[in-house]
């Protein structure tokens, strides 16, 4: 099962190494990691998408992360109401004739063209991972020259549904 | 001309360098013993140590591995962090085995490594190695000091982290420019570690759950690990187990946390544990794990580990709970605090006499056994004699292999803090240097290093320390002219193909001792043991005792790899 885990960490040298090292040492499958600063000076936030086999493994993962001295807080936000975004840039083979066709495809995704050349164009898309996946699949037939994804970043919404009407749903399959 | 260190040199109005700040910080922490080896990147540190000479006993090993294992032995027996100093590059990499060992066995170490100057870090400078990268997975925490002002604070943090919560090694890497620069800036000494707040007190709700479970149990058993020893909770454990008549078994590292000679003691469990102990774990309906981590050498095949039991686990490290064995009653807390709380509770148990009778019957029917050919020197018997001659009160360190298991089985430990062995990493070469550290921690105590002929040869260069310091460590070489444990597995599982495990060629250990000006003895028979070993162990001087034991002895009983607790082999003489 895929889970979204966030960790706030003290922004000290070596912390990224320590965290990724422990994940690989304990054989956790990391799909993506994104790291960046937060509203608090000296504190960074890491968002991991991981694939774990069962609850026990998941519990180990959060406990091992928590155990690190520079890790302040670990949350599994998969089943919360969250906002989650990923950014992808896709360089697609195109020519002037194809350009408007591709534009038609990317429009519903609120995706934008950020670079154009004689034989290619670069498209930027932001959204949940499944939206990004969907657009990439639609562009694939044209020929993807280059693709870069930032990995997911996420946090809980300001309003969390009451426990009673909270259905367990997942952003990720 | 012979060079001598100048004792009279005094620190002349010296401005403080990073190295001075380090020395001050160490003195501040109450450190009086250092285990270290100098080199280019720690020259400033050694200069500061020189100037503060009266403050420390500095132990110079002949290989950095000796320093770190000695520091482990020191930490285990003194209960205080072992402090190690090494130079950059090869100095640091030579420390790696011991750091990994301390991590596995939760021993508090603070290891200072020199590093090349900040300006050349990353250029593959002479004797540069990525100490942070190398030690990250094998330390509780590690630091590289970036500027001199933070040095005192980091040293404080390092000692705090190493010695609290679940103890472990902390590495502090100090670039040479920092140890040699002078600083006039105000240094930091206050620290705050918001991400590190080990939970100490047990949650009352969980304690209630456990009390409830115990009151329902018909077949309860306690598994006591080294967490009880680290927490100094042996007395509380004894009170708890004895009051409620709950049998206690130990992990390898937990030996001594409960008196081995108590009627309720089952002795060691696990791969070479006792039949009665393993059967108790197999049959129990309530397993109370206190400070043990359900290591695979204990559990055997997890499918058959405590299959009928409700599991309660008290551990200061939450990540250990539920890691290997599903746990119904987790208690994240200090072992002693938890036991004290349990002792305060009202608890009436069901009648479990039948369970105690069954356990007693297993103990009577399947005791430890070994062959006793006349005149021959049998290793198991030898270990019993060592116990007898030291009144079971010596500090015993071991190396890794058959002799280690025999020591665990036959040197019955009745008190805590007598047992120093490498459990998690299983590090050959550990036993003798660890004994040096243990002796320094307990100068008046008898310290016996039980080592194999193989493992001893990995670190025997540290005989120099005995010579230099006159430390009365007794080295008992259980010499089977083989890498015995490897030979045993090859006998049992590889049709006696003794691939590289027989060591016919050996040094003359007596001459070896002699060359260090130490007394060496060779013992080949039971009679000789009885004639000379009592005196050797009672003497206040070091000794190297080469005991020629039966080569073909095997460690039994045993849970073969992949098998369950209930499938022990070698439980009875064949
Ligand atoms: C550093 C290291 N290398 C290899 C091993 C694997 N090993 C485990 S026990 C053993 C044999 C030890 O032989 P010896 O020291 O003579 O002790 P004995 O088993 O004969 O008592 C070996 C090679 C190890 N534990 N540690």
Residues 6+ apart with CB under 8 A from A158: none
User: CA dist A140 to A92, A98, A135, A137, B199, Å?
Assistant: 8, 14, 9, 5, 52
Residue whose tokens read 């349990």: B342
pLDDT score at A171: 47
Catalytic site includes residue B1:
no
Catalytic site includes residue B568:
no
pLDDT score at B22: 97
Diameter over CA atoms, chain B:
80
Closest CA to B185 of B158, B152, B156: B152
- Spatial separation of the C-alpha atoms in residues B244 and B224, rounded to whole Å: 16
Residue A18's closest chain B neighbor by CA? B136
Q: What's the whole-model pTM score? A: 0.95
**Where do the domains of chain A lie, and which CATH numbers do they carry?**
2-81+157-172 (3.30.70.260), 84-153 (3.30.70.1150)
Best of B140, B195, B320 to substitute, by most chain A Cβ atoms within 10 angstroms, is B195
Ligand 1 atom with the smallest distance to the CA of B399 is 15
Q: Which of B133, B161, B322 is closest, CB to CB, to A69?
A: B161
CATH 3.40.50.1220, domain B204-365, yes or no = yes
The chain-wide mean pLDDT, for chain B, equals 96
Residues in chain A within 8 Å Cβ distance of B136:
14, 17-18, 21
Please state which architecture CATH assigns to domain B379-548: 3-Layer(aba) Sandwich (3.40)
Q: Are the Cβ atoms of B319 and A67 closer than 8 angstroms?
A: yes
* B192 has a chain A CB within 8 A of its CB: no
Q: What is the DSSP string of B499-522?
A: TT-B------HHHHHHHTT-EEEE
- Spatial separation of the C-alpha atoms in residues B10 and B171, rounded to whole Å: 30
Q: Which of A9, A13, A60 is closest, CB to CB, to B319?
A: A60
- Spatial separation of the C-alpha atoms in residues B451 and B105, rounded to whole Å: 19
Tell me how close the Cα of A42 comes to any Cα of chain B, in angstroms.
12
Same CATH fold assignment for domains B16-183 and B204-365: yes
Residues in chain B within 8 Å Cβ distance of A17:
132-133, 136
Q: Exposed, middle or buried, A111 (CB in 10 Å: 0-12/13-18/19+)?
A: buried
pLDDT score at B185: 76
Handedness of CA A27, A32, A36, A40 (dihedral sign): negative
ipTM of the complex: 0.91
Cβ atoms B571, B557 nearer than 8 A:
yes
pLDDT score at B188: 83
Which segments of chain A have a pLDDT < 70?
163-173
**Per-residue pLDDT tens for B278-318?**
999 999 999 999 999 999 999 999 999 999 999 999 999 99
**Per-residue pLDDT tens for B517-574?**
999 999 999 999 999 999 999 999 999 999 999 999 999 999 999 999 999 999 999 7
pLDDT score at B574: 79
Q: Are the Cβ atoms of A70 and B195 closer than 8 angstroms?
A: yes
Q: Which of B144, B195, B318 is closest, CB to CB, to A63?
A: B318
Whole-number Å distance, alpha carbon B455 to ligand 1 midpoint, is: 6
Decide whether any atom of ligand 1 lies within 6 Å of the B452 Cβ.
yes
Starting from the edge strand earliest in sequence, which strands make up the sheet with B248-250, in order? Answer: B265-268, B248-250, B220-224, B286-290, B310-315, B329-332
Residues in chain B within 8 Å Cβ distance of A13:
132, 144, 146
* DSSP classification of residue A169: -
List the structure tokens of B304. Answer: 């058959």
Cβ atoms B150, B179 nearer than 8 A:
no
Residues in chain B within 8 Å Cβ distance of A10:
194-195
**Per-residue pLDDT tens for B196-254?**
999 999 999 999 999 999 999 999 999 999 999 999 999 999 999 999 999 999 999 99
Closest CA to ligand 1's atom 8: B401
B118, B127, B491, B567: the active-site residue: B127
- Spatial separation of the C-alpha atoms in residues B410 and B526, rounded to whole Å: 16
* B30 has a chain A CB within 8 A of its CB: no
Closest CA to ligand 1's atom 1: B428
Tell me how close the Cα of A23 comes to any Cα of chain B, in angstroms.
10
Residue A72's closest chain B neighbor by CA? B195
Q: Where are the domains of chain B?
A: 16-183, 204-365, 379-548
- Spatial separation of the C-alpha atoms in residues A64 and A114, rounded to whole Å: 41
- Split at pLDDT 50, 70, 90, the class of B14 is low
- Split at pLDDT 50, 70, 90, the class of B12 is very low
CATH number for the domain running over B16-183 = 3.40.50.970
Q: Which of B133, B195, B196 is closest, CB to CB, to A17?
A: B133
pLDDT score at A173: 40
Tell me how close the Cα of B141 comes to any Cα of chain A, in angstroms.
7
* B196 has a chain A CB within 8 A of its CB: yes
pLDDT score at B5: 65
Q: How many CB atoms lie under 10 A from the CB of residue A27? A: 7
Cβ atoms B175, B145 nearer than 8 A:
yes
**Per-residue pLDDT tens for B171-181?**
999 999 999 99
- Helical pair A15-25 and A55-67, crossing angle rounded to 10 deg: 150
Q: Exposed, middle or buried, B238 (CB in 10 Å: 0-12/13-18/19+)?
A: middle
Q: What percent of chain B has pLDDT over 90?
A: 94
Q: How many CB atoms lie under 10 A from the CB of residue A103? A: 15
pLDDT score at A156: 93
Cβ atoms B360, B565 nearer than 8 A:
no
Torsion, CA B489, CA B493, CA B496, CA B499, rounded to 10:
-60
């Amino acid at each position: 099962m895929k889970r979204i885990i966030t960790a706030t960490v003290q922004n000290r040298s070596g912390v990224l190494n320590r965290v990724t090292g422990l994940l690989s040492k304990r054989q956790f499958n990391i799909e993506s990691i994104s790291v960046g600063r937060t509203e608090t000076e000296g504190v960074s936030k890491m968002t991991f998408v991981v694939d774990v086999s069962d609850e026990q493994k998941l519990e180990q993962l959060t406990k091992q992360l928590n155990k690190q001295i520079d890790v302040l807080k670990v949350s599994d936000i998969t089943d919360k109401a969250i906002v989650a975004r990923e950014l992808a840039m896709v360089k697609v083979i195109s020519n002037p004739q194809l350009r408007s066709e591709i534009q038609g495809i990317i429009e519903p995704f609120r995706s934008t063209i950020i670079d154009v050349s004689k034989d290619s164009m670069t498209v930027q898309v932001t959204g949940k991972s499944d939206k990004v996946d969907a657009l990439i699949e639609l562009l694939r037939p044209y020929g993807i020259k280059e693709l870069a994804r930032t990995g997911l970043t996420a946090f809980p919404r300001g309003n969390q549904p009451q426990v009673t009407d909270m259905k367990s749903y997942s952003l990720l399959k | 001309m012979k060079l001598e260190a100048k004792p009279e040199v005094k620190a002349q109005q010296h401005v403080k360098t990073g190295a001075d700040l380090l020395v001050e910080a160490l003195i501040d922490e109450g450190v009086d013993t250092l285990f270290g080896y100098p080199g280019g990147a720690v020259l400033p540190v050694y200069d500061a140590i020189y100037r503060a000479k009266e403050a420390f006993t500095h132990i110079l090993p002949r290989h950095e591995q000796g320093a770190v294992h000695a520091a482990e032995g020191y930490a285990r027996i003194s209960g205080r962090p072992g402090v190690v100093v090494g130079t950059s590059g090869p100095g640091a990499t030579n420390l790696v085995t011991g750091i990994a060992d301390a991590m596995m066995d939760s021993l508090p170490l603070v290891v200072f490594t020199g590093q090349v100057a900040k300006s050349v870090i990353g250029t593959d400078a002479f004797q540069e190695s990525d100490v942070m990268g190398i030690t990250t997975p094998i330390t509780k925490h590690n630091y590289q000091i970036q500027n001199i002002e933070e040095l005192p604070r980091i040293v404080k943090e390092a000692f705090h982290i190493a010695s609290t919560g679940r103890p472990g090694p902390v590495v502090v890497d100090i670039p040479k420019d920092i140890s040699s620069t002078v600083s006039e800036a105000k240094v930091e000494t206050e620290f705050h570690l918001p991400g590190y707040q080990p939970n100490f007190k047990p949650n009352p709700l969980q304690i209630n759950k456990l009390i409830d479970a115990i009151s329902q149990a018909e077949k309860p058993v306690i598994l006591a690990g080294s967490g009880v020893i680290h927490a100094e909770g042996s007395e509380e454990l004894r009170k708890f187990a004895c009051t409620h008549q709950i049998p206690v078994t130990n992990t390898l590292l937990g030996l001594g946390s409960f008196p081995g000679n108590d009627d309720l003691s089952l002795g060691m469990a696990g791969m070479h544990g006792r039949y009665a102990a393993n059967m108790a774990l197999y049959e129990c309906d309530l397993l109370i794990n206190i400070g043990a981590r359900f290591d695979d050498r204990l559990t055997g095949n997890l499918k058959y580990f405590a299959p009928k039991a409700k599991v309660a686990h008290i551990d200061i490290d939450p990540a250990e709970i539920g890691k290997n064995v599903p746990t119904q009653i987790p208690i994240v807390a200090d072992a002693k605090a938890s036991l004290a709380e349990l002792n305060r509770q009202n608890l009436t148990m069901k009648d479990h006499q039948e369970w105690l009778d069954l356990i007693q019957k297993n103990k009577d029917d399947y005791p430890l056994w070994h062959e006793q050919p006349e005149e021959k020197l049998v290793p198991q018997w030898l270990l019993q004699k060592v116990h007898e001659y030291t009144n079971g009160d010596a500090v015993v360190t071991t190396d890794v292999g058959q002799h280690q298991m025999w020591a665990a089985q036959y040197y019955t430990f009745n008190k805590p803090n007598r047992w120093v062995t490498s459990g998690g990493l299983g590090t050959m070469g550990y036993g003798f240097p660890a004994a040096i550290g243990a002796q320094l921690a307990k100068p008046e105590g008898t310290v016996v290093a039980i080592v194999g002929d193989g493992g001893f040869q990995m670190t025997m260069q540290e005989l120099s320390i005995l010579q230099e310091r006159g430390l009365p460590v007794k080295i008992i070489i259980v010499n089977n002219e083989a890498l015995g444990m490897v030979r045993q597995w090859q006998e049992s599982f590889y049709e006696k193909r003794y691939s590289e495990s027989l060591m016919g060629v050996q040094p003359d250990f007596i001459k070896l001792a002699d060359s260090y000006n130490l007394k060496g003895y060779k013992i080949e028979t039971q009679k000789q043991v009885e004639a000379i070993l009592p005196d050797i162990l009672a003497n206040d001087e070091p000794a190297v005792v080469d005991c020629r034991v039966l080569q073909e002895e095997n460690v039994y009983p045993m849970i073969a790899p992949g098998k369950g607790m209930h499938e022990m082999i070698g439980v009875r003489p064949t």
